[in-house]
Amino acid sequence: MTRPPLWIRRRLDPIELLLRLIVGGVFLDSGWAKVLDPMSFSDSVRGYQVLADPWVAWAAMALPPFLLLVGVCLIARVLYPGVLFAAAGALVVFVVALISLRARGLDIECGCLSISVSVSMQILIDLFLIALCAVLVWMARLRTVD
């Protein structure tokens, strides 16, 4: 029996695939929810009180396609090292923004996922996703050493 080509085997490692589906799925879910209701997402971005009004619209327009692209690239394992760092970097920015909400005592709907969770729970979810990104980077580095 012949083995599948290396490029297929790399995409089908079951543990890595599961982790990619989790992280990429969250990015896809988040991006799709923002695409479906852009006005609500724009109000959420405005509620953070970090950006002035013209920049709120730019952020509300740019973030959903970015999230969708990162989700697709993670799941398909396309542009993989870069998209892993983009995902982790975005998650770090999201955590910092959420912590700033907590520090300033603002109680808003964060607009992060398609489900409604508290800001504290969203911080924990994002930290968990950052940890999964770190595991995926570690797994990718192990693979390049082989």
- The total number of structural domains in the chain stands at 1
Give me the domain span that covers residue 139: 10-145
Q: What is the 3-state secondary structure (H, E, C) of 30-85?
A: HHHHHHHCHHHHHHHHHHCCCCCHHHHHHHHHHHHHHHHHHHHHHHHCCCHHHHHH
145 phi/psi in degrees, rounded to 5: -75, -35
pLDDT at 44: 87
Helical pair 80-104 and 53-76, crossing angle rounded to 10 deg:
140
Residue at 101 is within a domain: yes
Flag whether 19 is in a domain.
Answer: yes
CB-count burial class (<10 Å; 0-12, 13-18, 19+) for 26: buried
Q: How far is CA 56 from CA 16, 42, 53, 112, 114, in A?
A: 35, 7, 5, 15, 20
- Who contacts 106 (Cβ-Cβ below 8 Å, separation ≥6)? 47, 48, 49
How many helices and strands in the chain, by DSSP H and E?
Answer: 6, 0
Residue 119, pLDDT score:
86
| Residue 1: inside a domain | no
Which amino acid is located at 66 in the chain? Answer: F
Considering the domain boundaries, does residue 3 fall inside one?
no
With respect to residue 70, please indicate whether it lies within any of the assigned structural domains. yes
pLDDT of the chain, 146 residues: tens digit per residue: 677 676 666 666 788 999 999 999 999 999 999 999 888 888 888 888 888 888 998 998 999 999 999 999 999 999 988 999 999 999 999 999 999 988 988 877 777 887 888 888 999 999 999 999 999 999 888 776 54
pLDDT at 51: 86
Q: What is the pLDDT of residue 106?
A: 80
Half-sphere exposure of 2 (CA within 13 A, CB side): 4
Rg, the chain, Cα only: 17
Is residue 86 a part of any domain in this protein? yes
